[in-house]
Structure 1
Amino acid sequence: MTKIFLGLVISITLLSSCATSKKQFGEILIENTADSTLTKQEISKIRSLNPDIFDAGKFTGREQLEIKYRLFKPKQSNKKYPLVVVYHGSGRPIGTDNASHLGILQKLFASPEIQSKYPAYVLAPQFSTRSSDYVMDSTVRNVLYSVHRPCLNSVFQLIDSLKSNLNIDKRRIYVVGYSMGGSTVINSLSTRPDLFAAGISISGIPQFNKLSELSEIPIWLIHGMDDTENPIDSDEQFYKEMHKKVLFWKLKGTTHNNVFSSTILGETMPKWLFKQRKK
């Protein structure tokens, strides 16, 4: 482990280990602390990882919708490993180049430092259209909710195919995403509660029509309190209607585009995710 990464891990542990280790559920306010030069260097290091560490592939599901994807495989293949599915946001990552969607989340879980302690397959599908749409619930809640598009069903079929062909621990399949991808995390958990052991939604928009299905799955919401692109009030309403049975980190002084900092990078998310297992 490099000295840079070690410094990042120590800073994160001091800030958040108590919150994640002692509390499975509940709301936690996180102060906005300015990143040091050292931390910014580590974030840049994650972003600069060579995309060739991911294999390129494509899959066509029953709906005849082609999904291009990248897949990271652990070095040893004779053991069962978890699978982490990472969804990208909207904008430039949407497309078919099978490259632009490899952002900081995808590379974080595939980075040598994280893989050394949390080895796993990392699946990064690329959507050629939006994966989730937003609708205003103006009659009851007056907040946005998300609805997934058919392309997400092809991703589920891809995961089922990978389960049959790779040495994946079926009790430890996780889903993580940012922005539109965070919304798609909640859509995925509600649509296939049989498949996923846990999910982390970062700066996303949830859904409200399948709360009973979602209540059985560990969920971690992370949202900037100053987010004007995907307002936090949807996640706040979701947290309330889930009877506070989710982990909800509210990041003070944080907007939509500056949510990635040392507060949630490093080992923070893998440490929580990899504790979760399907019964």
Structure 2
Amino acid sequence: MTRFFFTLSISIALLTSCSTNKNQFGQTFINYTADTTISKQEVLKIRSLDNDLFDSSTFTGNEKIEIKYRLYKPKKEQLTSTEKYPLVVVYHGSGRPIGTDNKSQLGLLQKLFASPDIQKKYPAYVLAPQFPTRSSDYVMDTSRNVLSSIARPSLNSVLQLIDSLKSNLNIDTERIYVVGFSMGGSTVINSLSARPELFAAGISISGIPQFDKINELAAIPIWLIHGIDDTENPINSDEQFYKEMSSNVRFWKLKATTHDNIFTTQLLGETLPNWLFKQRKK
């Protein structure tokens, strides 16, 4: 798997060479890359990681909404009494992950950041909350003529959970990150908008952004990833968000990519962690 991750990272670096700022920000068009049999096997390895790698718990905040969550902790041999580690909060999409079974939310993104190869190079806590109902709703922004997202109260409970974990674990408060897909990608922008002082960076994949806190987000590195052929969450909302926020936003537009086939191997391996863990709160 290590060789696969290394090769994939080199390929992504070549793909992004046309970016206006290939190291950090700017808009990039990415060609669709069909998965090979080998890369599909690597995806299956990530998905097949044992759920028990994550501790299971429950949190109830001021909203009185019970949040089931899973938490991956760096290995004991990595932990010390003084060293602090990043926290990666990973939000799930809508559909079957919504609920209270406290396992359906453990999908590809959650397990990617907890996988042995990634943890070896990027040790971190990984928080995977499960929303009992939708975490974000979509409404039409009539002034922009695009969809905009609005957070539900359950997000406040998750933000309070993060505050609680900060007080009880060796978390580096300069490196708290938020990542999500689909509804979870929308909730990434909702989270940054609600608590811009909390997060060092965010990655929103196939989400719908929030527009009413643009000024508050100006200093936060954000990576938008969206399929051009996405009909479930149309890309035009992210395009408008990028237009208004472009100075601090990296925007990958994946050609010939729909909502459901965005997780080709060009988004796996070290691609996301390599960018994310470079970011620190300013």
TM-fit CA distance, 1:108: 0.2
What is the Cα deviation at residue 22 of structure 1?
A: 3.4
Residue in 2 aligned with 1:165? 168
Cα distance, 1:241 vs. partner? Answer: 1.4
Q: Which amino acid aligns with 2:54?
A: F
Q: Which residue among 208, 213, 231 is the counterpart of 1:210?
A: 213
TM-score, structure 1 as length reference: 0.95
Check 1:123–1:18 CA distance in 2 against 1; reply closer, same or farther (3 A cut).
Answer: farther
Question: Which secondary structure does the structure 1 equivalent of 2:129 belong to?
Answer: strand
Q: Which amino acid aligns with 2:106?
A: L
**Letter matched to residue 183 of structure 1:** S
CA distance in 2 between counterparts of 1:229 and 1:178 reads 12
Aligned-residue identity in percent: 74
Question: Are the equivalent residues in 2 in contact too, given 1:87–1:178 (CA < 8 A)?
Answer: yes
| Residue in structure 1 matched with residue 149 of structure 2 by the alignment | 146
Where in structure 2 are the equivalents of 1:183-262 lying within 5 Å? 183-262=186-265
Amino acid in structure 2 at the alignment position of 1:58: T
Unpaired runs of at least 5, structure 1: none
CA contact (8 A) 1:8 1:39 kept: no
Q: Distance in 1 between matches of 2:20 and 2:187?
A: 23
1:118 and 2:122 aligned: yes
Do structure 1's residue 274 and structure 2's residue 252 form an aligned pair?
no
The one-letter amino acid paired with 2:115 is S
Query: Hey, what's the Cα distance between the residues in 2 that align with 1:84 and 1:260?
Result: 19
CA deviations on 1:55-104 (whole Å, 9 max, x unpaired) are: 00100001111100000000122121000000000000000000011000
Distance 1:160 1:17 in 2: 38
For residue 7 of structure 1, report the CA deviation from its aligned partner.
4.4
Aligned to 2:84: 80
Preserved contact between residue 12 and residue 266 of structure 1 (Cα < 8 Å): no
Say if 1:60 and 1:154, in contact at 8 Å, map to a contact too: yes
> Offset at 1:38?
1.1
CA distance in 1, matches of 2:155, 2:29: 32
CA offset digits 1:95-137 (Å, max 9, x no partner)? 0000011000000000000001010000000000000000012
Stretches of structure 2 that go unaligned for 5 or more consecutive residues are: none
Q: Does the C-alpha gap of structure 1 residues 188 and 209 become closer, same or farther in structure 2, counting only changes over 3 Å?
A: same
Q: Compute the RMSD of aligned alpha carbons.
A: 1.7
Q: TM-score, normalised by structure 2?
A: 0.94
Instruction: Give the aligned partner of residue 93 of structure 2.
Output: 89
Question: Once the 2 structures are TM-superposed, how far is the Cα of residue 243 of structure 1 from its aligned partner?
Answer: 4.1
Read off the aligned partner of 1:90 and give its amino acid letter. Answer: S
Q: Which aligned pairs between 1:59-74 and structure 2 lie closer than 5 A?
A: 59-74=59-74
